[in-house]
Copies of this chain bind each other. A is one copy, B any other.
C-alpha cells in the first residue's frame, strides 16, 4: 500500500472513508488445540488495528457478523457507500491485501472498486454486498 493511499484515506478525519468490521466470533477448526478451535478474527482485528494506527481507516472488532462458516470474515463500510462482506481471510496471508483493499474502498466514490483492482482474496471471498441507503427517502420508494 502506498503512503499516498493512506493520505487519501485519512482525509475524512471525523468520518473514516472505511470502517473495517472484523468478526471475532468465527471459529476455525484446530485439532491441535484443547477446545478444537480458535477464533482467528481476534488476531486479525489486532493486527489490522496496529497496522492502520494513524491512517484514518477505522478497525472495529464485532462480536458476530453471522457468516460463521468462512473465517475470518470482515465488512468494509462507510456512510453513503456500498458495504462489502468478505470471508475466508487469514491474518498471516492477507493482511497486505486487506489494507490495500480498504484504502481503495476509502478512495472510491461509492465503495465499488473495479474488479481488476481488487486483490485475489477479495475476488474469491465475497460473501455479500449491500447498497447505501438512498439519501432522500419517502415512503414506498
Classify chain A's interface size.
Answer: 35 or more
Name the residue on B nearest A139 (C-beta).
Answer: B56
- What per-residue 1/0 map shows which CB atoms of A118-138 lie under 8 Å from chain B? 000000001111110110111
The verdict on A126 contacting B66 (CB below 8 Å), with A19-B137, A131-B21, A140-B59 known, is: yes
- What per-residue 1/0 map shows which CB atoms of A11-36 lie under 8 Å from chain B? 00111100101000000000000000
**Bound CA span A57–B10, Å:** 35
Name the residue on B nearest A132 (C-beta).
Answer: B77
Residues of A within 8 A of B (CB): 10, 13-16, 19, 21, 49, 52-60, 62, 64-67, 73, 75, 77-79, 83-85, 126-131, 133-134, 136-141
Q: List 7 A-B contacts (CB under 8 A).
A: A52-B140, A55-B140, A60-B134, A75-B130, A83-B83, A83-B130, A127-B127
